[in-house]
Structure 1
Amino acid sequence: MDSEIPINSNKWFQNWFDSEHYLKLYHGRDNSEAGKLAKLICKSTGIQSGSSVLDLGCGAGRHAIMFSKLGFKVTGYDLSRHLLLEAKSGAICQETKLSLVRGDIRNLPFKSKFDLVLNIFTSWGYFESDLENLTVLKNAVSLKRDGGFFVLDFLNAEYVKKNLIPSSITEFQGVTYSEERYIRDERVIKSIKFCDGNGEKCFKESVRLFDHDQIIEVFKETGVSNISLFGDYDGSRFEKSNSPRIICLVS
């Protein structure tokens, strides 16, 4: 189903995530990372099979399918019609079930709450307005049941600033993708250029680099009492300077 909300078609995330080339560029992503994160979340929360899970920004369903196969009742929410169709197809191929809803993460249509709410693999920080980005986080936390959990898996801003790779080239199915990365106005921006049978194309990604202190402050404003931090999908302790991720488990 589609949630009844206006969608602005000129946003980078809508244009890029609905392009067939998005999944082609990132074809190397597999289930190993998704499996690690799912295992870490299940171990850290103790959440039981059969519990309800909401995956906000589920994309092509890599993580949602993983949780469904582990026995959870999973709802995936995403703006991209193209990626939701991929998620549906993936669930069918892997003989598991997903409930998929299309809509903008700034406008959550859910009336019931969930045992586990996920916003993972950098599915946050897309909007130009800090207020919009922070409100998304607060609204997501509000959808967890009492005694439930919210998990944010995001870039570690300090690590990104120290280790950003300025450029790279990827080839897949006869197409060469040229990527350039830079930081401007506290956003990490990626420019993606390539040529296919329809000529030269250019897309971009732009993510607001909220740091550790800013993220923790937002969670405190929601009134949550317990926040556990990890620095990678193996469950390593979070270190501001050295951890590639900031994974927040909020209860």
Structure 2
Amino acid sequence: MKKEKEWFENEDFWLNYGPIMFDEQQWSQAHGIAEKCIEIAGLEEGSHVLDVCCAVGRISVELASLGMNVTGVDITQPFLDAAKESAEDEGVELELINQDMRTFKSKKKFDAALNIYNSFGYCDKIEDDIKILKQVYKNLKKGGTFILECISRESAIKYFTSGEWFERAGMTVLTEFKVTGAWEGLNSRWILIDKNGKKIDHTFVQRLYSAAELRDILIKECKFKSAEVYGGFNRIPYDQNLSTMVIVARK
């Protein structure tokens, strides 16, 4: 029996929603984030970096421009095509691989791996989320660093809004957010309306982990030697002043 695809494996979704999610503000922040990741991981020119769920290559391209050897992995081929085009425009080289991170295995080992900008927690099963983290561990060199940044349960609570509307990429965008379970997930509905009135409506759920839960999964189940939690890429404390959740795990 053929396995039914999960929503994030649908390329049409990303073709419609990608321009909304990866807007100019996200691109403008990429260089600074790449610099911070290099600093956190203690990387040197020529270090090998795995960009997990690299999407359109926003971080990959900046890492390559800073002298890193970058491999980007994503399940969505159109995103990889866009990443290739961006790399060519910037005159840098990327190795881009169309594969599911739950099963991705590389012959080479990486000095660092990154999962940036909220691309974790979408699998139907917790076990599949953990598979991704375990594969990251397996693909790292001994002593390598994994940097994970995404919405946590705490940041979702702090910044929760029931919805908003705005104009972006030639679309009117309406969003609606609801909590699922006991803050176990965030139900997100995105409605896009183009200039001709055509509407695209999609709802998905992101699983919410507390920072402590993810830290313990990385150490106890994935066997990382350590995992430190910060409230931003500048490594501020993970407290009431957090801007996002950044976990730095060492193999």
Instruction: Report the TM-score when normalising by structure 2.
Output: 0.89
Secondary structure in 1 matching 2:24:
coil
Please name the residue that 1:46 is paired with: 42
| Match status 1:223 vs 2:223 | yes
Please name the residue that 1:152 is paired with: 148
Please name the residue that 1:236 is paired with: 236
Alignment CA distance shift 1:158-1:85 (3 Å):
same
Aligned mates of 2:31, 2:130 — CA distance in 1: 28
What is the CA RMSD across the aligned residues, in angstroms? 2.1
**Cα offset for 1:128?**
1.5
Aligned mates of 2:246, 2:167 — CA distance in 1: 31
**2:212 maps to amino acid:** D
Please name the residue that 2:132 is paired with: 136
**2:242 maps to amino acid:** S
Alignment CA distance shift 1:163-1:13 (3 Å):
farther
**Cα offset for 1:175?**
2.3
Please name the residue that 1:210 is paired with: 209
**Cα offset for 1:7?**
7.8
Alignment CA distance shift 1:101-1:165 (3 Å):
same
Please name the residue that 1:201 is paired with: 200
Which string of whole-angstrom CA distances, capped at 9 and with x for unpartnered residues, describes residues 48-87 of structure 1?
Answer: 1101111010000000001000111100000111111110
**2:231 maps to amino acid:** G
Aligned mates of 1:79, 1:198 — CA distance in 2: 30
Please name the residue that 1:178 is paired with: 174
| Match status 1:117 vs 2:113 | yes
Please name the residue that 2:186 is paired with: 188
Which string of whole-angstrom CA distances, capped at 9 and with x for unpartnered residues, describes residues 213-248 of structure 1?
Answer: 211111112332232322113332222x44132211
When structure 1 is superposed on structure 2, of 111-120 and 7-16 the one drifting more is 7-16
**Cα offset for 1:195?**
2.7
Which string of whole-angstrom CA distances, capped at 9 and with x for unpartnered residues, describes residues 122-147 of structure 1?
Answer: 11111121111122112212211012
Q: Any unmatched runs of 5+ in structure 2?
A: none
Aligned mates of 1:7, 1:101 — CA distance in 2: 22
Q: Any unmatched runs of 5+ in structure 1?
A: 1-5
**1:249 maps to amino acid:** V
Equivalent residue runs for 1:4-153 within 5 Å: 8-12=4-8, 14-15=10-11, 17-24=13-20, 26-153=22-149
When structure 1 is superposed on structure 2, of 188-197 and 86-95 the one drifting more is 188-197
Which string of whole-angstrom CA distances, capped at 9 and with x for unpartnered residues, describes residues 97-130 of structure 1?
Answer: 1010001121213232111111111111111211
Give identity over the alignment, percent: 22
Contact 2:175 2:188 in 1 (8 A): yes
Contact 1:37 1:234 in 2 (8 A): no
Contact 1:60 1:83 in 2 (8 A): yes
Contact 2:74 2:80 in 1 (8 A): yes
Alignment CA distance shift 1:182-1:244 (3 Å):
farther
Provide the aligned length of Structure 1 versus Structure 2: 245
Secondary structure in 1 matching 2:179:
strand
Alignment CA distance shift 1:34-1:205 (3 Å):
farther
